[in-house]
Amino acid sequence: MATLTKVLKPILGSQLGNTAKVFGAAVNSQRGKPTYTGRTIPPPAKYGGRHTVALIPGDGIGPELLNHVRELFRFCCVPVDFEVVHVNSASTREDDINNAIMAIRRNGVALKGNIETNHTMPPNHKSRNNLLRTSLDLYANMMHCQSLPGVHTRHKNIDIIIIRENTEGEYSSLEHESVSGVVESLKIITRNNSLRIADYAFRLARDKGRRRVTAVHKANIMKLGDGLFLQCCKEVASGYPDIEFDSMIVDNTTMQLVSKPHQFDVMLMPNLYGNVVSNVCAGLVGGPGLVPGANYGRDYAVFETATRNTGKSIANRNIANPTAMLLASCLMLDHLKLHDYANMIRGAILTTMNETRLHTVDIGGQGTTSEVVQSIMRIIQSSGPLTTEI
């Protein structure tokens, strides 16, 4: 009986169901997958006006920054409760990350720090962050790079939205060594995912009143792969005649970004180019400590810093820049439709950044993380709305 199932399983794939019962074998569920598939999402975790959000501290500066976020929320009486899920990046078992994924499935929204991926581990130890993104199908990574007036940079007045496909491309984790000394690494581009991300980009551009979407690719070399991506973008663009669409090869893009960044409006690209371009843009506006990022799926949303740095070298030294994580929490509040709280916190952060000019070390100042957070709290208290005691 057991051998019969072994033969049947790869053939029938997941269509076993009743057939398996006929053959007397038990259906092997994939890793205890809940019956809440992508079709039916559980009702949102909002009771009595208070939301519950999953919080994954991660490694490096993640835990301390997320503690500051929690303090700030408690101070401002934000109706959000956090369910903290710890993920141990050193363990090889996937239980921790599965717990985290389950917690996000339950709550729908999460705020996370970056989980470190150790390069020396064997290849079957997948990146925890990647596992989270693919399991929850968070296909769109959105990053809004805006120059802040109070931060001194070489380029001023940058305002670029970067949309990056988050689940396939070069990050498919499909590699093999058929011949010793020769490794094949697969980059996967699919029509469905490309259409999906292009649709997301154009919708966002329209909603935010942007005029141009630029697709970034390398289709002259990867004619089929990036060619498919480009073709899907062109198809979707034809449905949005009010938005201009153009494309640029990634090498030219990076050169233009550092010389003339103001020509870009909304940029759309597959996974790896997205990683590179988003880090370049973060550097243009002042560094990894300033830009928040959001990962959206159809049913779930996870918020984190845009450049996903672990910051191990500056962990626990009170010098990390909390701006990125705090702005990410404001994006989360917007997603939960708590716009008042989001605007209040965002206003306070920008006032600290621009008017009082209290900067941390990475943007050229002398302040510590706690000083910046205290300053934000003071500004919120002085501007009137409801707060608890400091």
Partner 1 sequence: MMASALRGSLVTLAKGLSGARLQPFCARSLSLTSSQNVSESPPARADSTFKVTMVPGDGVGPELMTAVKEVFKAADVPVEFEEFHLSEVQNMASEEKLEEVLSSMKNNRVAIKGKIHTPMEYKGELASYEMRLRRKLDLFANVVHVNSLPGYSTRHNNLDLVIIREQTEGEYSSLEHESVSGVVECLKIITREKSRRIAKFAFDYATKKGRSKVTAVHKANIMKLGDGLFLQSCAEVAELYPKIKYENIIIDNCCMQLVQNPYQFDVLVMPNLYGNIIDNLAAGLVGGAGVVPGESYSAEYAVFETGARHPFAQAVGRNIANPTAMLLTAANMLRHLNLEYHSNMVSEAVKKVIKQGKVRTQDLGGYSTTGDFVRAVVANLRHRTV
Give residues in contact with partner 1 (CB under 8 A). Answer: 10, 13-14, 32, 34-36, 42-50, 52, 74, 76-77, 81, 83, 99, 102, 105-106, 108, 140, 142, 144, 172, 174, 176-178, 188, 190-193, 195-196, 199-200, 203-204, 207-208, 294, 296-299, 301, 331, 334-335, 337, 339-344, 384-388
Nearer to partner 1, 65 or 327 (CB): 327
DSSP 195: H
CB of 142 to partner 1, least distance (A): 7
Buried b (16+ CB within 10 A) or exposed e, 90-119: eeeeeebbbebbbbbbebbbbbbbbbbbee
CB of 349 to partner 1, least distance (A): 13
CA pair distance 133, 104, nearest whole angstrom: 11
Nearer to partner 1, 173 or 368 (CB): 173
Nearer to partner 1, 61 or 148 (CB): 148
Taking the chain, what is the end-to-end CA distance rounded to the nearest angstrom? 67
CA pair distance 18, 25, nearest whole angstrom: 10
CA pair distance 329, 323, nearest whole angstrom: 10
CB of 303 to partner 1, least distance (A): 9
Nearer to partner 1, 223 or 339 (CB): 339
CB of 150 to partner 1, least distance (A): 19
Which CA distances in Å does 110 have to 10, 65, 304, 323? Answer: 35, 15, 9, 18
Q: How are the residues of the chain apportioned to helix, strand and coil, as percentages rounded to the nearest 5?
A: 40, 20, 40
Nearer to partner 1, 87 or 314 (CB): 87
Nearer to partner 1, 24 or 384 (CB): 384
Question: CA torsion angle for 373, 46, 299, 113 (degrees, to 10)?
Answer: 30
CB of 236 to partner 1, least distance (A): 10
CB of 20 to partner 1, least distance (A): 17
Nearer to partner 1, 206 or 262 (CB): 206
∠ CA 35-39-45, rounded to 5°: 75
CB of 44 to partner 1, least distance (A): 7
SS3 category, 227:
helix
CA pair distance 336, 315, nearest whole angstrom: 30
